[in-house]
Structure 1
Amino acid sequence: MPESFAIRPATRSDGAFLADMVVEAANWRPGSARPRHEVLGSPEHSRYLAGWMRPGDAGFVATSPTGEPIGAAWYRMFPRSDPGFGYLATGVPELIIGVRPIWRAHGVGRALLQRLAAHAASAGYQRLSLSVERGNFAATLYRSEGFAVTQPTSGRDIMVKRLR
């Protein structure tokens, strides 16, 4: 049973782990896992990783007591001409989050969301957006952290959190 974890800023060298977390996020539905190469080979998912730590990127990585990465949350800016799943508007960063299954429901995702939202607010952003597929249990966490559905789309919702 997981006990404790730490959170640190993400670095350029975390790119491979962030790729793992994109795969975790894409494969949230039990019993319907897509192969890693298929998820990462698709432009709609690879956009969250390509050129990681480009200007405007920020994120955090949760680590186990042994220092192993167990979860990550990060945001990127996308142009209107090439939006992500959770694109809301120009100047609104879109967040991505993933947590290893054994560490879910232990506060890791919540701590990562809170840290990333605080960072985005301190960087001057007014809102954060994300996309969640309907039926994903993570939507309950997002709502409890102040995210609200703003743009329902086919099978997924765009959620936004206003930052103070």
Structure 2
Amino acid sequence: MFYIRNLENEFEFFLDMLYESIHIPESKPSKEALLNSPDIRKYHEGWGRRGDRALIAFNTKNQAVGAVWYRLFDDNTKSYGFIDCNTPEIGIAVSEEVRGKGVGTLLMRKIIQQAKDEGYINISLSVDLKNDAAINIYKKLGFKDYEVVGTSKTMIYKL
């Protein structure tokens, strides 16, 4: 059993999950190096601005086990899954010990509902082309292919 709530005091856990969400199968840089690189820093720097939302999943022992988030970007700070300035981009990761137990799907459904409640028309995400398991889950949730850029696929969900 898992429960979901808004990010409160778990910013370090959020950063851990952001690091985990970045698919680099071999020679992945350290958390500090990767999260401070210019292409990744924009996903967390100044967190708490308009359009930032994060949800944290907890197990029955009240341990954080997963996170999903979205953030708005603009033409000057385009993200990997950038569609436009009004489409938040989602990121997600779950702790290794709970993978395959439905936490990711639960988080995705909650963040989709959150985006609907906040009046967004679309949400997007970027996924590594080789991450077939994630792509299949996103398609089952209703995400559609939008474009391929380099080694990543951008997908969109129309709310």
TM-score range, shorter chain: over 0.9
Provide the rounded CA distance (Å) in 2 between the counterparts of 1:122 and 1:115. Answer: 10
Measured against aligned partners, the alpha-carbon deviations of 1:45-74 in whole angstroms (never above 9, x if no partner) come to 221111222122112100111111110001
Q: CA deviation at 1:34?
A: 2.7
Which of residues 7, 12, 17 is equivalent to 1:10? 7
Match of 1:154 in 2: 150
Match of 1:56 in 2: 51
Unaligned runs of 5+ in 1: none
Which of residues 85, 90, 98 is equivalent to 1:95? 90
- The residue type equivalent to 1:40 in the other structure is L
Are the equivalent residues in 2 in contact too, given 1:48–1:96 (CA < 8 A)?
no
Are the equivalent residues in 1 in contact too, given 2:42–2:77 (CA < 8 A)?
no
Instruction: Give the number of equivalent residue pairs.
Output: 158
Measured against aligned partners, the alpha-carbon deviations of 1:15-68 in whole angstroms (never above 9, x if no partner) come to 211110111111463x54331122112122221111222122112100111111
| Structure 1 residues 101 and 33, CA gap change in structure 2 (3 angstroms) | farther
| Structure 1 residues 28 and 66, CA gap change in structure 2 (3 angstroms) | farther
- The residue type equivalent to 1:118 in the other structure is Q
Provide the rounded CA distance (Å) in 2 between the counterparts of 1:27 and 1:152. Answer: 16
2:120 counterpart of 1:125: yes
Provide the rounded CA distance (Å) in 1 between the counterparts of 2:121 and 2:37. Answer: 30
Provide the rounded CA distance (Å) in 2 between the counterparts of 1:119 and 1:126. Answer: 12
Measured against aligned partners, the alpha-carbon deviations of 1:110-163 in whole angstroms (never above 9, x if no partner) come to 000100000100111010000001111211111111111101111110000011
Structure 2 length normalisation: TM-score? 0.93
Are the equivalent residues in 1 in contact too, given 2:23–2:128 (CA < 8 A)?
no
- The residue type equivalent to 1:82 in the other structure is T
Write the mapping of 1:67-86 to structure 2, written as runs, cut at 5 A: 67-86=62-81
Are the equivalent residues in 1 in contact too, given 2:65–2:98 (CA < 8 A)?
yes
- The residue type equivalent to 2:78 in the other structure is P
Structure 1 length normalisation: TM-score? 0.91
Which of residues 39, 43, 67 is equivalent to 1:44? 39
Question: RMSD of aligned C-alpha atoms?
Answer: 1.3
